[in-house]
Amino acid sequence: MAMSIEELKEKILDKALNGPKAQLYVKDFHAIDPDASPRAVKNAANDLVKEGKMVFWSSGSTTMYAAKGRAKDEETREA
């Protein structure tokens, strides 16, 4: 049985905060709950962005998710 949206959000945030990779593709969250539909996972990750706990990082062609503060900040990054 798929997790509730709140459980899903909690696990996604935990992975984004404590996982080895700072920036993750939406597919990287699918393994958290194999029973959840990709749309449910996407919606949960997007909710976390709306709540200000996660951010989008985009190259323009691809978008990744990161916990707030863990994403690469291009403004301050040395070239």
Partner 1 sequence: MPKHVTPLMDELEKGPWPSFVSDLKRQAEKNPQCWDIVGQMELSYKDKMTHWKHGGIVGVFGYGGGIVGRYSDVPAQFPGVAHFHTVRLNQPSSKFYRTDLLRKLCDLWEKHGSGMTNFHGSTGDLVLLGTRTEELEPLFYELTHELNWDLGGSGSNLRTPSCCLGKARCEWSCYDTQAACYGMTMKYQDEIHRPAFPYKFKFKFSGCANDCVAALARSDLSAIGTWRDQIRINQAEVKNYISGANKPNGGGVPGKTGFDIQKEVIALCPTGCMWMEGDTLKIDDAECTRCMHCLNVMPKALRPGLDQGASIMMGAKAPILDGAQLGTLIVPFIKMNPDGEFEELVEVIEKCWDWWMENGKNRERLGESIQRVGLPTFLRVMEIEALPQHVKEPRSNPYVFWRDEEVPGGFERDVKEFRKKHAQ
At 49, which amino acid appears? Answer: V
Q: 9, 1 in Cβ contact below 8 A?
A: no
Residue 53 CB, shortest distance to partner 1, in Å, is: 14
Residue 12 CB, shortest distance to partner 1, in Å, is: 14
Residue 32 CB, shortest distance to partner 1, in Å, is: 14
Minimum CB distance to partner 1 smaller for 6 or for 27: 27
Q: What does the binding site for partner 1 look like in residue numbers (CB under 8 A)?
A: 25-28, 30, 38-39, 42, 46, 49-50, 55-63, 66, 71-75, 77, 79
Measured CA distances, 23 to 13, 16, 78 (Å):
12, 7, 18
Strand partners, 56: 65
Minimum CB distance to partner 1 smaller for 11 or for 64: 64
Distance CA 12, CA 15 (A): 5
